[in-house]
Amino acid sequence: MVEILAEFEAQLEAVRLLPTVGGVYEVSLDGRLVYSKLATGRHAEPGEVMGLLRDKLPG
């Protein structure tokens, strides 16, 4: 979370954390799913979510 804020602060209007159960987490951007542990059945690799966000956010 800190990495996301540090890199994309100027591009983000808000960041929201929603509690869940069972160790499931999902990352969405503008209502579109970017990464889902539930769908992949695994934790994201280091840097994976950041890379997916970089692909979706303008420069």
Domain ranges of the chain: 2-12+22-56
Would you tell me which CATH number, out of the four given (3.40.50.2300, 3.40.30.10, 1.10.1040.10, 3.40.630.10), belongs to the domain 2-12+22-56? 3.40.30.10
What residue type is assigned to position 36 of the chain?
S
pLDDT score, position 40:
95
Task: Indicate the pLDDT class of residue 59, thresholds 50, 70 and 90.
Answer: low
pLDDT score, position 13:
87
Task: Indicate the pLDDT class of residue 58, thresholds 50, 70 and 90.
Answer: confident
Residue that has been written with the tokens 């956010």 in this structure: 57
Tens digit of each residue's pLDDT (9 = 90 or more) over 17-55: 888 888 889 999 989 999 999 999 999 999 999 999 999
**Spatial separation of the C-alpha atoms in residues 19 and 12, rounded to whole Å:** 20
